[in-house]
Amino acid sequence: MVIETFGLTKQYNGKGGCVDVNLSVEQGEVFGFLGPNGAGKSTLVKTLVGLLRPTAGTARILGKNLGDTRVKAKIGYLPENFRYHDWMTGLEVMRFHAELYKIPRLERRISELLELVGLSGHEKKKVASYSKGMQQRLGLAVALLADPELLFLDEPTSALDPVGRIEVREIIKHLKKKGKTVFLNSHLLSEVEMVCDRVAIINKGKIIAQGNLQDMLLANSHIVVRIGTPAPGLVDNLMKIAKWVEQKDDCVSLKISKREDIPIIAKTIVESGTPLYELKIEGGSLEELFVYLVQGGEAFDNADEVHI
Amino acid sequence: MITLMKYTFKEMLYKRALLFVLLLTVAFLALYGFGIREAYKDLPKLSTLAVPISSEFISIGLYFAALIVAFLVILSSAGALSGDIESGVMQAVLVKPIRRWEVVLGKFCGIGLLVSSYALILFLSILFLNKAFGARIVFNFTQIFYSALLFLWIPIILLSVCLWGSARMSTLGTGIMAVMLYGFALIGGWLERIGYLISLGGRSAKGLINAGIISSLIMPTDALYRKMNSLLFSSGEVYLMRNNLLGGGAEPSVYMLIYAAAYTIFVLYMAARSFTLRDI
């Protein structure tokens, strides 16, 4: 596990923050951490990177305790409220942070990253003259300096235009291909939906759901199949697989609990001799799920499975 | 730590406040130089009068120089940690593979190096101007070396205090605290010297002297200034400035120097500790 938290709690004078967080993030995952404003997302990230001291519980990052200096050499962090020394140029900011990481051959690495985030040609300008979007790009380049095994991105596209967002998404996908782990803290659901493998949702400081993103979406959706005249016993067989089945004319709606049930349903229909004309998933957008959960939808999690 | 020291030093050079202070310093030195040049024209020939008067002129210059250096160090270090925390810059720094005490020490060395260089130039400029315009006093190298060290120690103590404040409080709070402590030490020093002068007349002034000693224990900057004066203006057993209100009085003992050293180290340790425990 790259990240493991055990009842991790960080509160401010007994209020706010995050409470009793139990998370696990595996290597090579893009893990989305969602929640409304003020839910405790940034508090958890800042606790994981060692900026805040937990009030209870423990956590391990890359197998070491929180705040371990050796681990810090392997993580990158783009803060939500990114700010860099505005009296420096972009290049100087990169050099400063590269020196803190003790990176060898830093000039080459710096120019590669400035190119990657689209800041080539702007590196000799003072950071004070950068737009917010440019500063966020610079922050991303700084976070990537050490070629980190684990990257924490706290609202990485909040100041970016649509093109910038796509570029960041591509960078995240590229990192995933390289086997890096990304902890993405965001409330931009479409962004999370496009890049994340697993997600956790936090509300009022507590994790209210976590698991495989596709399974979570499926749990909040239903399958609709359009079939010919059903063979005798088909609906009974489908009821054994699905949580509930509802037939209306040539359409059958089914609620299933896991993705693996979809091919089984198709197979059951075809093997019964019933013509299968169409199979589609309805509902189940992350936005719907998010709103449902945050507004008090019944949920519990066991880390791997999500029940809604 | 070296990286942080290097960039802290660079940051200080970039700050406009430093340029402003440098311009004001040049103006001060020009005005002071003009004043003492005119004053030395009328210096009595008799060395028993000329030497103490020369000492007074130098002491006045150094007293004001110490004030300028103190305010420079307060202005530049009150926000050394808290300013970076408040602006958000510190978040990206502290997730790097460095320990928090290294950040404190890097800031201490960076600011300390620049302020010490400035204080040394100012110290030597005042001695040079006085000698150039006719001060009737002779210094040997040892006197200048040790008194310069004591003069540089004053901003270093203030820097440690500011870093401790900056590690715990806001920039404004730290600035107010440092100015008050420095002012407290100045006033305490004055009380002690007044007490000393009263006691020379045979009257008891223990209350005033004790108030001065307590203020030196809370902030030993004025004690260091007096020790510097006694080193610079002593010739054998004769201390020329003993009756001077700016830096005279009883010479601080070696125990006060040991206390000041322990004070500096303790305060710097507390700065590192407070910063390590602080939520960012």
Task: With a cut of 90, say whether residue A61 has pLDDT above it.
Answer: yes
Indicate if A259 and A192 belong to the same structural domain: no
Please choose, from the candidates A275, A278, A279, the residue with its C-alpha nearest in 3D space to the C-alpha of residue A231.
A275
Segment B12-34, tens digit of pLDDT = 888 777 788 888 899 999 999 99
The total domain count for chain A is 2
**Residues 91 through 120 of chain A touching chain B, CB cutoff 8 Å:** 96-97, 99-102
pLDDT digits (tens, 9 = 90+) for B114-132: 999 999 999 999 999 999 9
Q: Do A25 and A148 sit in the same domain of this protein?
A: yes
- Phi and psi, residue A89, nearest 5°: -85, 170
Burial class from Cβ neighbours inside 10 Å (0-12, 13-18, 19+) for residue A136 reads buried
With beta carbons under 8 A apart, name residues in chain B contacting A96: 3, 7
For residue A62, tell me if it sits in a domain.
yes
Of A75, A83, A142, the CB nearest to B88: A83
Residues A35 and A72 in one domain: yes
Task: Give me the total of CB pairs closer than 8 Å, taking one residue from chain A and one from chain B.
Answer: 65
CATH number at residue A74: 3.40.50.300
Would you give the end-to-end CA distance of chain B in angstroms? 19
> Do A161 and A35 lie in a common domain?
yes
Q: With an 8 Å Cβ cutoff, are A77 and B99 in contact?
A: no
Tens digit of each residue's pLDDT (9 = 90 or more) over B85-96: 998 899 999 999
Kindly indicate the confidence band of residue B108, based on its pLDDT and cuts at 50, 70 and 90: very high
Same-domain pairing of A126 and A238: no
Contact yes or no for A75 and B88 at CB 8 A? no
- Res B248 pLDDT > 80: no
| Lowest-confidence pick of A152-161, A264-273, B267-276 | A152-161
pLDDT at residue A305 greater than cutoff 80: no
Domain boundaries, position A271: 221-283
CA distance A297 to chain B (A): 34
B 9-68 residues inside an 8 A Cβ radius of A: 11, 14-15
Per-window interface: A 48-77 vs B, CB < 8 A: 49-53, 69-70, 72-73, 75, 77
Q: What is the pLDDT of residue A307?
A: 39
More confident residue, B99 or B249: B99
| A240: CATH | 3.30.70.100
Q: What is the mean pLDDT of chain A?
A: 87
- pLDDT higher than threshold 50 for residue B209: yes
Cross-chain Cβ contact B92/A73 below 8 Å: no
- Does the distance separating the beta carbons of A51 and B279 come in below 8 Å? yes
Give me the pLDDT at residue B6, please. Answer: 85
| Substitution target from B13, B96, B103 for chain A, most A beta carbons within 10 A | B96
- Look at residue A82 and tell me whether its pLDDT is greater than 80: no
- What is the DSSP secondary structure assignment for residue B169, as one 8-state letter? S
Domain that holds residue B163: 2-277
Q: Does residue A206 form part of some domain?
A: yes
* pLDDT confidence of residue A105: 76
3-state secondary structure chain A: CCEEEEEEEEEECCEEEEEEECCEECCCCEEEEECCCCCCHHHHHHHHCCCCCCCEEEEEECCEECCCHHHHCCEEEECCCCCCCCCCEHHHHHHHHHHHHCCCCHHHHHHHHHHHCCCCCCCCCEHHHCCHHHHHHHHHHHHHCCCCCEEEEECCCCCCCHHHHHHHHHHHHHHHHCCCEEEEECCCHHHHHHHCCEEEEEECCEEEEEEEHHHHHHHCEEEEEEECCCCCCHHHHHHHHCCEEEEECCEEEEECCCCCHHHHHHHHHHHCCCCEEEEEEEECCHHHHHHHHHCCCCCEECCCCEEC
Residue A304: band (very low, low, confident or very high) from pLDDT cuts 50, 70, 90 = very low
What span, in angstroms and rounded, lies between the C-alpha atoms of A265 and A156?
A: 40
Q: Are residues A226 and A207 in the same domain?
A: no
Q: Is the pLDDT of residue A303 over 60?
A: no
- Taking the Cβ of residue B95 and every Cβ of chain A, the question of whether any pair is shorter than 8 Å is answered with yes
pLDDT tens digit sequence for B47-84 = 777 788 888 889 889 999 999 999 899 988 999 999 99
Contact across the interface for B95 and A51, Cβ inside 8 Å: yes
Say if residue A195 is in the same domain as residue A270.
Answer: no
Using the beta-carbon criterion (under 8 Å), do B92 and A77 form an inter-chain contact? yes
**A94 or B44, greater pLDDT:** A94
> Domain for residue A144, yes or no?
yes
User: By the 8 A CB rule, do A289 and A296 touch?
Assistant: no
pLDDT at residue B240 in the model: 63
Q: How confident is the model at residue B241 (pLDDT cuts 50, 70, 90)?
A: low
- Domain boundary (A166, A190, A211) is at A211
Q: Give contacts of B 124-153 with A, CB under 8 A.
A: none
Mind listing the pLDDT tens digit for each residue in A185-224?
A: 987 888 888 889 899 999 889 998 888 888 777 777 788 9
- Tell me B249's DSSP state: S
Counting the structural domains of chain B, the total is 1
pLDDT at A108: 86
Q: What is the mean pLDDT of residues B168-189?
A: 94
Note the ipTM here. Answer: 0.81
Residues of A in contact with B11 (CB under 8 A): 85, 87
Cβ distance A79 to B87 less than 8 Å, yes or no, reads no
